[in-house]
Every structure is written in structure tokens, then in C-alpha cells.
Amino acid sequence: MNTTHTVRRTDVFPHKHLPPRQRQVLILIGQGNTNRMIADTMCISVNTVYWYTSEIYRVLGVSGRAEAIAYCWRHGLVIETHEAMDSLENEVGIS
């Protein structure tokens, strides 16, 4: 089941359309984490991380990890990492 929304290219903040877990993956990507590190941090499989990253790239309209990292920096997601992660963890019920 596809839970992400189709985003118009004119949307200034497409990351806000991502589900909470995918936003969490995006922030971890922005921090420079590998897929294995993300999987370990979130207690999910690497295959799930691969699926999430492909959905993230589609929604953001980027072609790969480097562009996703640049997107994170441009939109302040890396600077707000701790606050953003705390907010997402509360949203998805992770302690």
C-alpha cells in the first residue's frame, strides 16, 4: 500500500507530505547515515530502508542520496535534527 501522497513540483516543502517514519529516515540520511545505520537506529530491515528511500526520493523529486542530503541542508532538517527526531519519535510512539 502506498502511503505517500503525490506532490506537485511547485510544493516548497514536499518532505512535509512524507509519513513520520519516512521523515525520520530522511533526517537520518541528511546526517550522513548509511542504510545499515538507519536500519539499526530505527530497528527495521535494510530492505525497508531501501523502500523508504525510494519513496522519499520520489516525493522530493531527487535522483539520489546526495540530492536528498542537499535537500535536508537546504530545508534546515539537519540543523533541527534533535528536535525533529524527538518530535517524530513522539509522533510514532518510540521512546
pLDDT of residue 93: 66
CA distance linking residue 55 with residue 76, whole number of Å? 20
- One pLDDT digit (tens) per residue for the chain, 95 residues: 455 555 445 567 788 889 999 999 999 999 999 999 999 999 999 999 999 999 999 999 999 999 999 999 998 888 654 565 666 667 666 65
pLDDT of residue 44: 97
Q: Which amino acid is at 25?
A: V
User: pTM score, two decimals?
Assistant: 0.71
CA distance linking residue 58 with residue 6, whole number of Å? 9
- Cβ–Cβ < 8 Å for 30, 78: yes
pLDDT of residue 17: 85
C-beta neighbour count of 26 within 10 angstroms: 27
